[in-house]
Amino acid sequence: MALSISVALCSHNGARYIGEQVQSICRQTFPPVEIVLSDDASTDDCVSVAQLALETSMRELPGLKIGFRVLRNTTALRVTKNFEQAVSACSGDLIALSDQDDVWHPERLAQMAAEFEKRPDLLLLHSDARLVDGERRDLGQSLFHALEVKQFELDWIHVGQAFDVFLRRNLVTGATTLFRRSLLEHALPFPKEWIHDEWLAIVASSVGRVDVLEDELIEYRQHGGNQIGARRDTFLGKVRKALASRGDTHVKRAIKAELLLDRLLSLGDLVAADTIQKLREKIEHQRFRAALPPSRLARCVPVLREAMTGRYNKFGRGTRGVVRDLFESV
């Protein structure tokens, strides 16, 4: 029997686009068994728009049967906890995360589900996407191009080294993701300090196999209302970041890593000792970065010493991290 798929669709004032997204879900060549819509205190009619789109699609496509469940939040949970609520209510073998404003290619679920059918060890799969504007006009780049994804990062994921990639940075965008519901046994609850997709990805890579399809399987809409979007930095943008205030960025990253360590330790023998050791080193590196002195001159020697250990490459983006630590303002 084929694996069943639930769609965890989260909305917040998404009436403008959500109908088109629901239609694209209904027109999958391998449709889901249900859509769980978790609405985060919307003040527009996005829930009724979504329901109408589903009903219209089922009339137009004889034989299509998709369950529809709505969870309404009177007080906004925000992105991470709203998705936690949605996935917790899903019943399918596989769960597809869905934003309210994208459009899926018709073969998306069929192509991704086939990978799970072939590979019992696969816990989570994500893909590339085509960036479009609010009117679905092609922006001329893919999601991976915007994120400056390197081929070696994709190669590492393909050969089972996703955890090493995600210790450096997250490459998984929830809107492109499908995962086994069994992952939730280890991933719930989602820490509020983490974004749902990066948390699911790194937990999955800690206890099982993660892979990536390099195909663009959705249109990832970029518009003024995105809660989380994708944009490739210009050279000037990178310079501005290098000179920007350090703030509490590195403190927050250290806290996130410590929360992950606590979770992985709670999973016992499911997590390899080598994985735990890498994470401890990551925490040490983040604590180092968080504790750097305000004076740029005083940072030079410790930053260069840390660079010689290789940790900037192992747990970040190499030279880019070194430059930022040397030049960021307080």
pLDDT in tens, 175-213: 999 999 999 999 999 999 999 999 999 999 999 999 999
Q: For residue 235, what pLDDT is reported?
A: 45
Q: Which residues of the chain register pLDDT less than 70?
A: 224-246
In a domain, 118, yes or no: yes
Say whether 94 sits in a helix, a strand or coil.
Answer: strand
Number of domains in the chain: 2
**What confidence score (pLDDT) does residue 223 get?**
83
Looking at the chain, list the stretches that DSSP marks H as alpha helix, in order from N- to C-terminal side. Answer: 18-26, 46-60, 79-88, 108-118, 143-146, 151-158, 162-168, 184-187, 196-207, 235-243, 249-266, 273-290, 296-308, 311-315, 319-327
Co-location of 305 and 160 in the same domain: no
Indicate whether 275 and 188 sit together in one domain: no
* Global pTM exceeds 0.85: yes
**CB distance 55 to 143 below 8 Å:** no
Same domain membership, residue 245 and residue 210: no
> Looking at the structure, do residues 14 and 150 belong to the same domain, yes or no?
yes
181 and 289 share one domain: no
- Domain closes at, from 160, 190, 221: 221
Same domain? For 245 and 201 the reply is no
**Are residues 147 and 177 located together in one domain of the fold?**
yes
Record the tokens describing residue 234, joined without a space: 């210009």
State whether 16 and 126 are in the same domain: yes
Residue with tokens 């990253």: 253
Sort 287 into a burial class: Cβ within 10 Å, 0-12 / 13-18 / 19+.
middle
Q: Looking at the structure, do residues 27 and 170 belong to the same domain, yes or no?
A: yes
- 86 and 194, same domain (yes or no): yes
Are 77 and 189 in the same domain?
yes
HSE at residue 253, side-chain half, CA atoms within 13 A, is 24
The 8-class DSSP code of residue 270 comes to: G
Closest CA to 201 of 189, 214, 215, 211: 211
Of the three residues 221, 252, 268, the one that is the final residue of a domain is 221
For residues 250 and 324, is the Cβ–Cβ distance under 8 A? Answer: no
Could you tell me if residue 166 is inside a domain?
Answer: yes
Q: Domain for residue 226, yes or no?
A: no
Could you tell me if 186 and 267 are in contact, meaning their C-beta atoms sit under 8 angstroms apart? yes
Q: Which domain holds residue 141?
A: 5-221
Q: Which CATH number covers residue 21?
A: 3.90.550.10
